[in-house]
Chains A and B, each alone.
Chain A
Amino acid sequence: MRLSVDLAPQRKFGLTLINPVMTASGTFSNGIEYRKVFDTDRLGGIVSKGTTLRPRKGNAQFRTAETAAGMLNSIGFQNIGVRALVEQVAPVWASWRVPVAVNILGDTPGEYAELARTLDGVPGVAALELNISCPNLELGGMEYGVDCDAAAEVTAVCLRATQLPVIVKLTPNVTDIASIARAVESAGADAVCVANTLLGMAIDTHTRRPVLGRGFGGLSGPAVKPVILRQVYQVAGAVAIPIIASGGVMTGQDAVEYLMAGATAVQVGTATFTNPLAPLTVLNGLERWMQDSGEEDVRNLVGAARSIPAATHRLRTAAGS
């Protein structure tokens, strides 16, 4: 059975994963904690916690709230900063077989470029994931992900600053995600990740206040899967570069659905909070599905459900009407 996929096929050396199951940024810290829990080298890839130029303390409490079949988060990029990451964490990654992509976030295109430059050529860093989609910050984050030109500019400045493959993580909080995907593809992105969290909120009726300290937060978990599945399908109709799906993947079945919608790989995120072994559960489930279906190559699943050419168009019309 062939499980390996390439997330940067246009590159000379590509970005080859031994299987399409990755961890999502912000749901696996920097991968070190779970080294003791399971053999993380079995995963296709790990994405680091969101990293900024300087260390950040993150947002005030409460930072999370459980919702129906999902959760809201407003962590606010508590992280050690890129320099400490390069000095203390990357050397650990360098001894692993599993490739690690660093999720980066800047306040300005210049900061994104500096982050990309700082991580260029660092042993242990296999790729960058540009976070232009975080809903939890005043500056930066989502504002670059909701505008085609800004998304393309951030992508372009990073590509100029590094030799690393660049994945752009898109926000689902837009009218037309396909146009943003097309813009970053034109700017040279190697792959897109669809998508970050959906902006949401929860209210505590007892205190008569929003639950989260910052009011709004990002919704994730099984509740968002139908929305993100639709967006993966739409993006797959708009770009040729690989798509990484991220949105409520809990089981191998979920992964198969995302691949069939057009994703080349999936990220497991919130599921890991409910079950520390979730990434392996997804991988095992995917393998079992392929065995049961007599499918030999995972790449045959990619886009397999895209049998209705007009679906993207029809969906857009429906959303606009």
Chain B
Amino acid sequence: MKQVTARVLECRSLYRDTFVLWLEAPEIARRARPGQFVMLRCGEGYDPLLPRALSIYRVRDGDGGPELGLLLEVVGRGTDWLSRRVAGDTVALFGPLGHGFTVRSASTNLLLVGGGIGVAPLVWLADEEVARGRSITLLLGARSAAYLYPALLLPPEVELVTATDDGSAGHHGFVTQLLPRFAPWSDQIFACGPAPMFQAMTAPLRAVQYRKSCQVLLEQRMACGTGICYSCAVETRRHGMKLICKDGPRFELRDVYA
């Protein structure tokens, strides 16, 4: 874990309430893996006080080494401040933190399941695994078409299947309702989204008798991001109390959700 003050390279709106923030933080970008996160200060004074946890969205090559990309949805004061950064500003952050996704060497077909802003770490995972020749299908759910991550920004090799709550794009309903069609094909599932989405994944996966690995990235209120504050505790079914920031954020779905 490195604590750095990074220069903002770019900050722009991608789609509804959602921005991409590119930072010059090669020390962090070089060590990071898909599914890991960083903690970002959202201001220079004491208010807001706590750093925000953001999943790493993408890493790209730049002149000064690998650049760190973060996808942020403006939901409060912290993310609003971040979204208003311009090139040349600096932000303090530390990371990479936590344990990212692990793709088994024998896995060929990867099913990615994203809900809302939860798409962020899945994009980078798709980038990397497409490059390794794996087949990727991304099931993506959002409130409406305007909140869907743009298909054009994904590697062309990724099959994108969408669902919206209001039916304005793709399947009319929850993304989890697509699981019975795609889960049997996959060798591994990787998911990131809100807690209700994870809960809603259990029944369809049970229905198709899915016994392979389904890794989920959990989220919870965090103060520290490093395992010292015990804010983000989760009770696992087989391994007792765990901290999402330090022991996760990647967990097996079945170890958390029944």
Distance between A103 CB and nearest chain B CB, rounded to angstroms:
13
- A12-55 vs B, CB cutoff 8 Å, 1 = contact: the mask equals 00000000000000111100011011000000000001000000
Judge whether A81 is part of the interface by a CB distance below 8 angstroms: no
Return chain A residues, CB-CB under 8 Å to B137: none
In the complex with contacts A73-B231, A75-B231, A276-B226 CB distance below 8 A: yes
Is B49 a contact partner of A64 (Cβ separation < 8 A)? no
In the complex with contacts A78-B233, A275-B92, A276-B3, A221-B49 CB distance below 8 A: yes
In the complex with contacts A221-B49, A270-B49, A274-B41, A64-B229 CB distance below 8 A: yes
Q: Please, how many angstroms separate the alpha-carbon atoms of A73 and B241 in the complex?
A: 18
In the complex with contacts A63-B231, A270-B49, A57-B221 CB distance below 8 A: no
Return chain B residues, CB-CB under 8 Å to A192: none
Is A250 a contact partner of B46 (Cβ separation < 8 A)? yes
Is B221 a contact partner of A33 (Cβ separation < 8 A)? no
Residue of A34, A66, A70, A75 with most partner-chain B CB within 10 A: A66
Q: Please, how many angstroms separate the alpha-carbon atoms of A33 and B230 in the complex?
A: 12
A side interface size, CB within 8 A: 35
- A262-278 vs B, CB cutoff 8 Å, 1 = contact: the mask equals 00000000101111110
Report the number of A-B residue pairs with Cβ-Cβ less than 8 Å.
92
Is A29 a contact partner of B227 (Cβ separation < 8 A)? yes
Judge whether B9 is part of the interface by a CB distance below 8 angstroms: no
Judge whether A61 is part of the interface by a CB distance below 8 angstroms: yes
- B4-48 vs A, CB cutoff 8 Å, 1 = contact: the mask equals 000000000000000000000000000000000000010000111
Judge whether B235 is part of the interface by a CB distance below 8 angstroms: yes
Return chain B residues, CB-CB under 8 Å to A26: 229-230
Distance between A81 CB and nearest chain B CB, rounded to angstroms:
12
Judge whether B220 is part of the interface by a CB distance below 8 angstroms: yes
Which listed residue (A65, A71, A250, A275) contacts B3, Cβ 8 A?
A275
In the complex with contacts A61-B220, A62-B221, A73-B223, A273-B229 CB distance below 8 A: yes
In the complex formed, the residue of A with least CB distance to B41 is: A274
Return chain A residues, CB-CB under 8 Å to B190: none
In the complex with contacts A78-B241, A277-B3, A222-B46 CB distance below 8 A: yes
Is A71 a contact partner of B50 (Cβ separation < 8 A)? yes
Judge whether B197 is part of the interface by a CB distance below 8 angstroms: no
Judge whether B94 is part of the interface by a CB distance below 8 angstroms: yes
Distance between A123 CB and nearest chain B CB, rounded to angstroms:
24
Return chain B residues, CB-CB under 8 Å to A272: 224, 228
Judge whether A1 is part of the interface by a CB distance below 8 angstroms: no
Is A63 a contact partner of B221 (Cβ separation < 8 A)? yes
Is B228 a contact partner of A70 (Cβ separation < 8 A)? no
Binding site for A on B (CB under 8 A): 1, 3, 41, 46-51, 92, 94, 220-224, 226-233, 235, 241, 246
**Top 5 closest pairs, chain A to chain B, by CB:** A64-B231, A273-B223, A29-B228, A69-B46, A273-B224
